[in-house]
Structure 1
Amino acid sequence: MATFYQNKNIFASALLALSIMFIHYAYALRASSISDCPQLSPRASGPTNPRDLRPDDIKVIAALGDSLMAGFAMEGINDNDGGSGILNISAVTEFRGQSWGIGGDDGAITLANFVNHYNASLEGPAEGSHIVTFCQGNSKVDVLNAALSGAIAMNLDEELNYLIPRMKELPNVDFENDWKLITIQIGSNDQCASCLNPFMGEVTAEKFGGYMEAAVERIHKEIPRVLVNLVGSFNVSEVYGLTKGQEYCRPLFNNPDAILNRVECSCFLFSDKERDNMDDLSANYNVQLEAIYEKYKAQESDTFAVRYTPAKIDIGSFPLEVMSNVDCFHPGTLAHQWVAKVYCPTEDDRFRVD
């Protein structure tokens, strides 16, 4: 793995490890791009259960989450598309077609395009971009990316209200029989709301776990033949130290704390104690996610399974360039690409659920 990314820095190693957790194969061939991966030979019969899934078995891909999954501001400030500074149109755009988990833009390095390489009939990837919205309504772009910018775990049920009917409406999907992969990544905004009334009561570890479990259970009851991928929480507080005073982050009036991410995550500015509390919450969110995984592992069937993907990343080791220069809070295009990079599977490899 190290040789493949030797021209990258330490962040590449961290995100490569994370990406391989998303689709982990026992053995895989290296490739410089998704298109270089050889096709898989068709199997005589389809998968018998979620543990038997290969990429070419997935017909539907979907995602729930917040602005990270929505691809908010990932292209950063682009002075060529009109405006200037944070008023630039790219600063308030969700680039959903390039989102690491479900983007379907041509040439984008994403999990969805990886699966699409092996199953050209894949349904659900988002394509294109639009101005940030805080409610669903652009199904032609979003398709099955139900993520909402600003969302916390409490909003997952609302996202499912969009996702489930939309999935059933897709013309080329056999809702009852096609295999589906749904990735859920949320929790950053929950951490950032932990010091704010009236939200702090809704973002406790217990509440977070309850909302996550309710979402998984609703998927279990309402969506057949599905593998749910729960992505772990990471320490958002580390963004504070990484970005403090950095010119790349466009601080105002030479004030090292006048960075947009201080507004988006105002707990950054309260105290070290509040930032430590964010870290405690993140750790306890992961305890909740692991408990959900263990619960459904014990209940696993031939049509439903849950996997837990820890997000073991050290934000403090990131180069700033992997973050959007709009706010130094959201990951930029390079970060989304690195997260989505995978190795080519062999015909005997499967999606792991343990």
Structure 2
Amino acid sequence: CKPLAPRPTPKTIHDLRPDDFSTIMGIGDSIMAGMGAGQVDTKLSDGIWHAMREWRGANFATGGDPESISVGNIIRRYRPDIRGLSYGNHSWEFCYGVNIDNQLNYLNKYLPTVDPDYQTSWKLAIYELGYNDLCSACMAPKSKAAAKESVLDNFRHQTRRAVERIRFMAPKTVVVLMGPFNLTQISDVASRSPTCKKRRAFLGLECPCLMKTANRLLGSFQTMDDLAVAMNDVLQDVANEY
């Protein structure tokens, strides 16, 4: 694709192009951090080392490593000075669960430094959450219906709170609410991949409901799929509010 010819900064969200974004931001869980996204070597020891790292430069949203296919790198094709890209890898920060307030506090603190014109420039924030809840869906108490509603209520509240905070502290930001996909659809494919087998051997704690094959027979896979659909409905409801 050819570079776009420069133009004045648009005044409305309905007239945005990739080169109009000055900064990209990622808010989310281990998928946003690029958990296990690096190439796994054939050696078992290397497989362990790679699986236990967050490849932030390779994450789908803000990954800035040259070989990474990411939203950030695609935007950089049209906006070479795009800010907010992630690079390299990082030791795994083992903390099950995500504190969105901490991420937003970090964003609020450093955004003025990263983008001094953040009050008037256009920005893109990609919000991706829900997989931790999916991966623990099979561990719900006996009343699965009540547990599901509790998860969805918390997910709805958390998403609304995050969007509102972004709206007030980072004006002129396009917020993309990324709905979770059905993790179970990739289970069979991953089980046939030597690369994925290595990761699955050491990342059982990352998604226990998916990693145990017996859970398919116990109905846990269907529970995960149903919850993913419901979470996407919640995100659509929140988006419709704006």
1:234 to 177, 181, 189: 181
- Asked if 1:275 is matched to 2:221, the reply is yes
CA contact (8 A) 1:183 1:231 kept: yes
Identity of aligned residues (%): 31
- How far does the alpha carbon of each residue in 1:67-96 deviate from its partner, in whole angstroms, 9 at most, with x for none? 11111111242258xx71543x22212111
Distance 1:72 1:202 in 2: 28
Paired residue total: 233
8 A Cα contact 1:194 1:278, kept in partner: yes
Equivalence for 2:208: 266
The residue that corresponds to 1:51 in the other structure is 14
Return the offset for 1:231: 1.0
TM-score by length of 1: 0.59
Q: Distance in 1 between matches of 2:149 and 2:130?
A: 12
SS of structure 2 residue aligned to 1:164: helix
Larger RCO: 1 or 2 (CA < 8 Å, sep 6+): 1
Distance of aligned partners of 1:244 and 1:107 in 2 relative to their CA distance in 1, 3 Å threshold: closer
Mapped to 1, the partners of 2:203 and 2:111 lie a distance apart of 34
SS at 2:241 equivalent? helix
Measured after TM superposition, the shift of residue 105 of structure 1 is 1.8
| 1:119 has 2:79 as partner | yes
Given the alignment, which residue of 117, 121, 134 partners 1:191? 134
Equivalent AA in structure 1 for residue 40 of structure 2: I
1:238 Cα deviation from its structure 2 partner: 2.9
Do 2:127 and 2:177's aligned partners in 1 also have CA atoms closer than 8 Å? yes
User: Is residue 224 of structure 1 aligned with residue 166 of structure 2?
Assistant: no
Instruction: Tell me what 1:335 maps to.
Output: none
Tell me by how many angstroms 1:226 deviates. 0.5
> Structure 1 CA distance, aligned partners of 2:70 and 2:193?
29
**What SS does the corresponding residue of 1:181 show, helix, strand or coil?**
strand
Query: RMSD value over aligned CA atoms?
Result: 2.7
Taking the aligned partners of 1:207 and 1:133, their CA distance within structure 2 comes to 23
Query: What TM-score, normalized by structure 2, do the two folds share?
Result: 0.84
Q: Which amino acid aligns with 2:155?
A: F
Q: 1:195 deviation in Å?
A: 3.1
Distance 1:224 1:182 in 2: 11
* Structure 1 segments unaligned to the other structure (5+ residues): 1-36, 135-148, 252-257, 297-354
| Alignment match of 2:28 (pick from 65, 88, 104) | 65
Does the CA-based 8 Å contact 2:63-2:87 persist in structure 1? yes
Please state whether the residue corresponding to 1:68 is helix, strand or coil: coil
2:70 matched residue in structure 1: 110
Residue 81 of structure 2 corresponds to residue 98 of structure 1: no
